[in-house]
Amino acid sequence: MNKASKIYIAGHRGMVGSAVWRALTKKGYSNLVGRTSKELDLKNQQQVIDFFEKEKPEVVIDAAAKVGGILANNDFPYQFLMENMQIQNNLIDSSLKAGIEKFIFLGSSCIYPKFAPQPLKEEYLLTDPLEPTNEWYAIAKITGVKSCQAIRNQFNKDYVSLMPTNLYGYFDNFDLKSSHVLPAMLRKFHEAKLNDNASVNLWGSGTPMREFLFVDDMAEAVVYALENKLPEYLYNIGTGKDITIKELAETIQEVVGHKGLINWDSTKPDGTPRKLMDVSKMKELGWQYSTELEDGIEKTYKWFLKNIDSIKEVKLEAN
């Protein structure tokens, strides 16, 4: 891959897209292109077509999506299905028609069936029903994966899909109403520490197991896919290791320096008992994660402290 190749990163202002931008800049890529949602509405087919005709990117990395938690997915199923399909369909189809040879599509581990065996293998895709709470988002992402696979099969282009596990890190969402478990815990422990080490109340029993990947490691996986032609259409990206939610809470508590009690509310739901990715395919090709969980949490907490005054006002864009 030529360091001067024009690379368009859709979603360059989000947590993943910004990490990809940093990783590519660090490696000397000098011709990166990004547009905010105000500058380019990825749901608008004609705007995307016009953008490709004007900018003529050579590579496209799709880190753009409409995202949200369980409540948002439940309340707005049509938007999560349709808007994500519009975004990715416009990007994928315009890339194909523009003759772009390399396209990297980023998705989510939620594409796999709810009760698939653990760890989750790529071949489990479409073998059973999805988790109902986010099936609309998952179905949209599955159509993106299958679109890229179809282009590989029919046109022999290097279109590949990367499915990350739970991501965390710089520019994460720390809003307690809509954030995921790790950034939500980090903020809770920080605020409790400031409040005379008040006790922290957490949902569930703490026994479910989850896998977490530092977002800069995800960005390195994208760079690896950019610089190499991967032989298959779909790859899991993660650590291949998981911990209990209780262990996660204790690790975050230690990093933050909170000295109070943790109260587990077992009347609240635990969710899926375990969700672990099989990452052996990427490992066999030569890529694996490098940031251990505690190190990643420390880096995230330092970033959080540095940006705490602006975090409430930060609105990360989908594209």
15 is in an annotated binding site: yes
Using only C-alpha atoms, the chain has a radius of gyration, in whole angstroms, of 19
Q: Determine if residue 203 is labeled as part of a ligand binding site.
A: yes
Quote the CA–CA distance of 168 and 308 in Å, as a whole number: 16
Q: Is 167 annotated as a binding residue?
A: yes
What does the DSSP assignment read for 271-286?
A: --SEE-B--HHHHHHT
Q: Is 11 assigned a ligand-binding role in the annotation? A: yes
Q: Is 169 annotated as a binding residue?
A: no
Distance CA 256, CA 121 (A): 34
Q: Is 37 annotated as a binding residue?
A: no
Q: How far apart are CA 143 and CA 279, in angstroms?
A: 22
Q: Is 164 annotated as a binding residue?
A: yes
User: Which one from 29, 137, 159, 170 is the annotated catalytic residue?
Assistant: 137
Task: Round to whole Å and give the CA distance between 188 and 201.
Answer: 9
Is 166 known as a binding-site position? yes
**Extended strands (E) in 120-258:** 158-164, 166-168, 200-203, 209-210, 212-214, 234-237, 243-244
Q: Measured between alpha carbons, how far is 91 from 138 in angstroms, rounded to an integer?
A: 18
Residue 180 labelled as part of a binding site = yes
137 part of the active site: yes
Active site (catalytic) residues = 137
Can you say which residues are annotated as belonging to the binding site for substrate? Answer: 188, 203, 210, 270
* Binding-site sequence positions: 11-17, 106-109, 141, 164-167, 180, 188, 203, 210, 270
Question: Which parts are annotated binding residues for NADP(+)?
Answer: 11-17, 106-109, 141, 164-167, 180
